[in-house]
């Protein structure tokens, strides 16, 4: 074999060896990254195992006691609990409804979807709380409720002449307003998972729970009896915090699926690395 041929063969072997070393280094880096992914998947799984949810007590007609998830804020209010965030008690019945006995009905209105969308763009601040403004094209009406298209609401007039819309969807509006105030959620599109939102707010320590009085009203911080009805999950037997079994099952399924993918990748990496090692040894013998 001539000198030129020997040099060409050596150059070819060197190039192949460099390519193998590069591939091997790349595979080792990917294998290390996969190990980090495995740790992340495991940590996510552990976090899910610790996930809990708050439930409220329900007394059945036969006298038995069960606990229910907070599927919507209205049921939570009906169970006798409201949330106080920075001095505002989201009871679904404050402000306008408190003076309902002084109202004079002046008719009804059934807003369209377009009118509801337009009304949601404005807010008006009164001495009691923030109200959404609804405008029929000629007149502004103030409401603490979230109006829905086609839902007939009663227009009422208070002694000072202000026209007010009053309907029953106050809990829906208060939940949306709570989300907006607590973590800047879009009041027109609040989070749908009420259970998770309320649980997280309670566990955050940023809100206070208020239990209803015997007349189903809720005390506010300025009331003399507020401290009597201020409560918590830890001290109230009508509330409990339990493991979120649904979240745990989802986490288990995801963990198993993710780990299966990682195991498959790991086996492929080991196979590829073994093949490269075989090729490296073969080149050394040439």
For residue 15, CA distances in Å to 9, 12, 20, 97, 282 come to 10, 5, 9, 83, 14
Q: Are residues 227 and 257 in the same domain?
A: no
| Predicted local distance difference test score (pLDDT) of residue 110 | 62
In the chain, DSSP assigns E strands to 52-59, 65-69, 81-85, 88-90, 104-109, 123-125, 130-135, 140-143, 153-157, 163-166, 208-211, 230-231, 239-243
Give the pLDDT mean for 59-72: 90
Q: Are residues 143 and 115 in the same domain?
A: yes
For 234-246, the pLDDT digits (tens) are 999 999 999 888 8
Q: What's the domain range around 156?
A: 78-231
Q: Comparing 66 with 45, which gets the higher pLDDT?
A: 66
Q: Are residues 19 and 157 in the same domain?
A: no
CA distance 279 to 242: 57
Percent of the chain with pLDDT over 70: 63
CA distance 34 to 30: 6
Q: Is 24 part of a structural domain of the chain?
A: yes
Closest CA to 187 of 147, 156, 142, 135: 147
Phi, psi of 202 (to 5 degrees): -65, -45
Q: Are residues 82 and 219 in the same domain?
A: yes
131 close to 124: Cβ distance less than 8 angstroms: yes
- Angle CA 209–211–215, to nearest 5: 150
| Predicted local distance difference test score (pLDDT) of residue 67 | 94
- Angle CA 242–248–251, to nearest 5: 155
Q: Are residues 198 and 274 in the same domain?
A: no
Q: Are residues 110 and 205 in the same domain?
A: yes
Q: Is 240 part of a structural domain of the chain?
A: no
Give the pLDDT mean for 113-141: 48
Whether residue 202 has pLDDT greater than 50: yes
Best-predicted range by mean pLDDT (41-45, 143-147, 186-190, 206-210): 206-210
Q: Comparing 249 with 82, which gets the higher pLDDT?
A: 82
Q: Is 138 part of a structural domain of the chain?
A: yes
Q: Is 67 part of a structural domain of the chain?
A: no
For residue 236, CA distances in Å to 55, 60, 205 come to 11, 19, 16
Query: Count H helices, E strands: the chain?
Result: 7, 13
Q: Is 131 exposed, middle or buried (0-12, 13-18, 19+ CB in 10 A)?
A: buried
| Predicted local distance difference test score (pLDDT) of residue 92 | 75
Q: Are residues 125 and 91 in the same domain?
A: yes
Q: Is 189 part of a structural domain of the chain?
A: yes
Could you say which of 191, 207, 231 is where a domain stops?
231
Q: What total number of domains does the chain contain?
A: 2
For 73-108, the pLDDT digits (tens) are 988 998 999 999 999 999 875 333 333 344 444 555
Q: Is 20 part of a structural domain of the chain?
A: yes
Q: Are residues 252 and 221 in the same domain?
A: no
Q: Is 242 part of a structural domain of the chain?
A: no
CA distance 8 to 157: 99
CA distance 131 to 163: 13
Q: Are residues 159 and 262 in the same domain?
A: no
First to last CA, the chain: 14
CA distance 270 to 1: 38
pTM exceeds cut of 0.95: no
Give the pLDDT mean for 58-74: 90
Q: Are residues 8 and 91 in the same domain?
A: no
* Across 51-60, 76-85, 162-171, least confident range: 162-171
| Predicted local distance difference test score (pLDDT) of residue 104 | 46
Average model confidence (pLDDT) across the chain: 74
Q: Are residues 274 and 215 in the same domain?
A: no
Q: Is 219 part of a structural domain of the chain?
A: yes
Q: Are residues 281 and 166 in the same domain?
A: no
């Amino acid at each position: 074999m001539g000198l030129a041929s020997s040099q060409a063969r050596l150059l070819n072997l060197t190039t192949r060896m460099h390519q193998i070393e590069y591939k091997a280094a790349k595979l080792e880096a990917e294998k290390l990254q996969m190990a980090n992914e495995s740790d992340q998947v495991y940590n996510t799984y552990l976090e899910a195992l610790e996930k809990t949810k708050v439930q409220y007590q329900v007394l059945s007609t036969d006298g038995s006691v069960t606990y229910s998830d907070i599927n919507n804020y209205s049921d939570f209010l009906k169970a006798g609990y409201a949330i106080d965030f920075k001095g505002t008690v989201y009871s679904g019945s404050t402000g306008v409804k408190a003076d309902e006995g002084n109202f004079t009905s002046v008719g009804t209105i059934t807003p369209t979807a377009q009118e509801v969308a337009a009304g949601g763009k404005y807010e008006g601040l009164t001495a009691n709380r923030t109200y959404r403004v609804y405008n029929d094209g000629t007149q502004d009406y103030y409401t603490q409720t979230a109006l829905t298209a086609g839902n007939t609401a009663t227009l009422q007039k208070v002694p000072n002449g202000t026209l007010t819309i009053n309907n029953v969807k106050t809990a829906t509006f208060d939940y949306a307003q709570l989300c907006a105030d607590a973590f800047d959620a879009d009041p027109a599109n609040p989070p749908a998972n009420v259970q998770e939102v309320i649980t997280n707010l309670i566990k955050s320590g940023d809100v206070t729970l208020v239990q209803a009085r015997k007349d189903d009203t809720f005390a506010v911080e300025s009331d003399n009896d507020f401290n009597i009805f201020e409560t918590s999950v830890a001290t109230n037997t009508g509330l409990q915090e339990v493991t979120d079994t649904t979240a745990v099952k989802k986490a288990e399924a995801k963990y198993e699926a993710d780990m299966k993918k990682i195991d498959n990748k790991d086996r492929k990496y080991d196979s590829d690395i073994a093949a490269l090692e075989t090729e490296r040894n073969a080149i050394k013998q040439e």
